Amino acid sequence: MKFGDYLRNCRDKLEWTQPEAASKIEIEQSYLSKLETGKSYPSEEIFDKLVEVYQIKIEELYEKISSEELVRLKELKQVRSAIIKKDHAKVTTTRGWLVAGFIMMMLGGTFLGIAIIPNHASMEYLYRSQGVLHPDEPLDQFSLIELQLDDVPENKNQITKQKELLTRLDQMDEVTGQDKGSAFVKTTLKGRRLFEKMSHREISSRHTNRWLLAPALMLIFGAFSCFYISRRWN
Q: Is the pLDDT reported for residue 150 higher than 50?
A: no
Q: Which fold has domain 3-75?
A: 434 Repressor (Amino-terminal Domain) (1.10.260)
Measured CA to CA, the distance from residue 179 to residue 123 in angstroms comes to 8
The pLDDT of 41-69, averaged and rounded, is 86
Measured CA to CA, the distance from residue 106 to residue 109 in angstroms comes to 5
Give the total residue count for the chain.
Answer: 234
pLDDT of residue 197: 93
Cβ–Cβ under 8 Å, residues 78 and 44 = no
Cβ–Cβ under 8 Å, residues 128 and 171 = yes
pLDDT digits (tens, 9 = 90+) for 193-231: 999 999 998 887 666 777 888 898 999 999 999 888 888
Boundaries of every domain in the chain: 3-75, 87-117+209-233, 121-200
pLDDT of residue 199: 93
Between 87 and 132, the more confident residue is 132
User: What confidence category does residue 105 fall into, taking pLDDT thresholds of 50, 70 and 90?
Assistant: very high
Percentage, residues of the chain above pLDDT 90? 37
Q: Is the pLDDT reported for residue 98 higher than 80?
A: yes
Query: How many Å from the N-terminal Cα to the C-terminal Cα in the chain?
Result: 20
